[in-house]
Structure 1
Amino acid sequence: MSDTPASLGGGSAVADERIVADAEAAAETAAHVSGCRVRPISALSDLEGACALFESIWKPDGESALATPELLRAMDKAGSYVAAAFDTTRDDELVAACIGFFGPPAASSLHSHIAGVSARMRGRSVGFALKAHQRAWTLRHGAAQVSWTFDPLVRRNAYFNIGKLAARPVQYLQDFYGRMNDGINGGDATDRLLAEWHLAAPNVAAACHGRPQHANAGAWRTTDAALDITADGRPVTGRITGARTRVAVPGDIEQLRRSDPACAAAWRSALRDVLSGLLTDGWQVAGFDRAGWYLLERQDRQ
């Protein structure tokens, strides 16, 4: 099993089908564990429900909508990914949704644009089930990679994307969406990490079966921190002397934006300078320590 797109296009049909079938089995198990049913949606009522869910999560100020039923209808008709999770314990209530679209070259990858889970369902691994379904669906449709962006300051999202799904950040994007007037981003700059998920990679397959191969965080805990956190929760830069380093993020940036906007802004600036600089300089994210650290390494220094 290869971790490159060639594993789908260049292998035998039997091998390709084996990868897809395994992904679909993993997705089915994940959905069962979460108590949900995950499927593509096309009915107008479901599309409206997905849009309403996105609105309830991000709470935009009314200037613009995250998505509209008309847009989702067009995306579905064009063959894009439009799916939702339904709570089987509550008469199939729509509790999560995700949309994505194919990108060049030749639709070889899917960009996952929005994914959201209702507050009531958090902690039940619904988001994991939704991503496992997206992986299986994308493989079934002939693509081998999914990409998406996430706020690098949100600790739980970094752990979910890197630790649980085995996606890897590849690029730091400064103020990617511009100002977003919503209840999550507030007035903060919308810096994002672009993550890539190589769907046929063995570590991704293992992660989707609930067996993530975590980086050994202990190997980093005694290394220099390129960005550390002070006792009062503020960022402080450090120096790097070896082939490994750590980059800290605050415990709850969303709460910090409300309680101490100046400190939140300091974290955005510090993380932008440090993490963006490291990725540009050839460092790679090897994992994320749940204690709040990006774990980075540079092969040419080892």
Structure 2
Amino acid sequence: MTNDVNPHRASGSGPVTVGPIEDPARLPEAVDLYRAVLDLPSGDPAVSPRLLAGLVHNGGSVIGAYAGDTLVGFAYGYVGRDAGTGEVYHYSQAAVVDRAWQGRGVGRALKQGQREYVLATGLTRMRWAYDPVRARNAHFNLDVLGARGRWFVRDLYGPEARGPSHEGPAEPTDRLVVEWDLTGTPSPGAGPSPEPVAGRLPAWGEAVPAGDDLLLGVPRTWSRTEPEPGRAARVRAAVRDALEHALGQGYVAVSCRVPSSPAGEDVPHDTAYYRLRRDV
């Protein structure tokens, strides 16, 4: 591992060193971590050491976060080109953090390391996709990193079976694609904490005006909704429709938060709120 960025200290831990994984002998560790974090069955093709080696030698990013000599985070990506505009950017396909290290700042250190690597290649923008009903990921992408949700893609990967053994009913793989401007200092998402509009906040899948912005409600913790397939499907469909409509009207997702403090008895505590703002 060479060209490490400055060590990043994760909360409650020692320094985490982030940098490219260039030794091919260490690439299987990244694949094993990816499989473990995503709980992939043996038949899932996932990612291979050979693919990662190809990326290392052909402009891709293969980034590791290490605590001592232990790999605790991994991200990889490649150069992409917008089919409509021709813009060239770096596409981050995946980023995972060991479960024992989640919530301790490793994810942020990993993305900052990937950012520094991409900037060194001469590219200034990065894109990636995430499941828009997962509020924790939305908050990290939009508020912690300062990326912006600009595009919605239905069933990006095709229907996908869920559940501990991936044998559950298939569900859509709708994704919100974000863009991260790498040229400035990383900054959090814009906008105040969500407050009631006309005495209330929007329900799951509902978008309501908030001044010049829109607020869109989503489950605060998707894992509590996921075991109810019928309800989960209805929420997904409503969020899909709301995002497609808003983005089609020129809005972008700039934040996903929960109220910082109770704003009234009617404020639900099981809901997070996207803030969507017109792109200017």
Question: TM tier, shorter chain?
Answer: 0.7 to 0.9
TM superposition shift of 1:238? 5.9
Counterpart selection for 1:30 from 8, 16, 30: 8
Counterpart selection for 2:157 from 177, 192, 201: 177
Pick closer, same or farther for the CA change 1:237–1:206 going to 2, 3 Å. Answer: closer
Letter matched to residue 71 of structure 1: L
Q: Which has the higher contact order (CA 8 A, sep 6+)?
A: 1
- 2:217 is aligned to 248
Pick closer, same or farther for the CA change 1:241–1:114 going to 2, 3 Å. Answer: closer
- 1:194 is aligned to 177
Higher helix share: 1
Deviation per CA, 1:146-192, whole angstroms, max 9, x where unpaired?
Answer: 10001111111000000000000000111111123455886321111
TM superposition shift of 1:29? 5.4
Single out whichever of 188-197 and 248-257 deviates more from structure 2.
248-257
- 1:216 is aligned to 192
Q: In 1, are the aligned partners of 2:75 and 2:110 still within 8 Å (CA)?
A: yes
How far, CA to CA, are the matches of 2:199 and 2:214 in structure 1? 5
Q: Which runs of 5+ in 1 are unaligned?
A: 1-23, 230-234
Counterpart selection for 2:65 from 85, 91, 96: 85
SS in 1 for 2:242: helix
Pick closer, same or farther for the CA change 1:239–1:128 going to 2, 3 Å. Answer: closer
Q: TM-score, normalised by structure 1?
A: 0.76
- 2:233 is aligned to 265
Single out whichever of 242-251 and 189-198 deviates more from structure 2.
242-251
SS in 2 for 1:94: strand
How far, CA to CA, are the matches of 1:270 and 1:130 in structure 2? 32
Deviation per CA, 1:217-237, whole angstroms, max 9, x where unpaired?
Answer: 2xx5233699832xxxxx363
Pick closer, same or farther for the CA change 1:252–1:78 going to 2, 3 Å. Answer: same
Q: Which runs of 5+ in 2 are unaligned?
A: 260-271
TM superposition shift of 1:206? 4.2
1:93-112 aligned at under 5 Å gives the runs: 93-104=70-81, 108-112=88-92
Are 1:130 and 2:110 matched, yes or no? yes
How far, CA to CA, are the matches of 2:254 and 2:37 in structure 1? 30
How far, CA to CA, are the matches of 1:221 and 1:118 in structure 2? 35
Counterpart selection for 1:158 from 130, 138, 161: 138
How far, CA to CA, are the matches of 2:208 and 2:55 in structure 1? 47
Pick closer, same or farther for the CA change 1:183–1:66 going to 2, 3 Å. Answer: farther
Are 1:275 and 2:243 matched, yes or no? yes
SS in 1 for 2:94: strand
Q: In 1, are the aligned partners of 2:119 and 2:182 still within 8 Å (CA)?
A: yes
Letter matched to residue 6 of structure 2: E
SS in 1 for 2:74: strand
- 2:256 is aligned to 288
Letter matched to residue 121 of structure 1: W
How far, CA to CA, are the matches of 1:214 and 1:61 in structure 2? 39
SS in 1 for 2:226: helix
Q: TM-score, normalised by structure 2?
A: 0.82
Higher strand share: 2
Pick closer, same or farther for the CA change 1:299–1:163 going to 2, 3 Å. Answer: closer
* Identity across matched positions, percent: 28
Q: In 2, are the aligned partners of 1:226 and 1:237 still within 8 Å (CA)?
A: no
How far, CA to CA, are the matches of 2:147 and 2:207 in structure 1? 27
SS in 1 for 2:50: helix
Pick closer, same or farther for the CA change 1:135–1:226 going to 2, 3 Å. Answer: farther
TM superposition shift of 1:252? 1.5
TM superposition shift of 1:299? 6.8
- 1:139 is aligned to 119
How far, CA to CA, are the matches of 2:176 and 2:258 in structure 1? 17
TM superposition shift of 1:64? 2.5
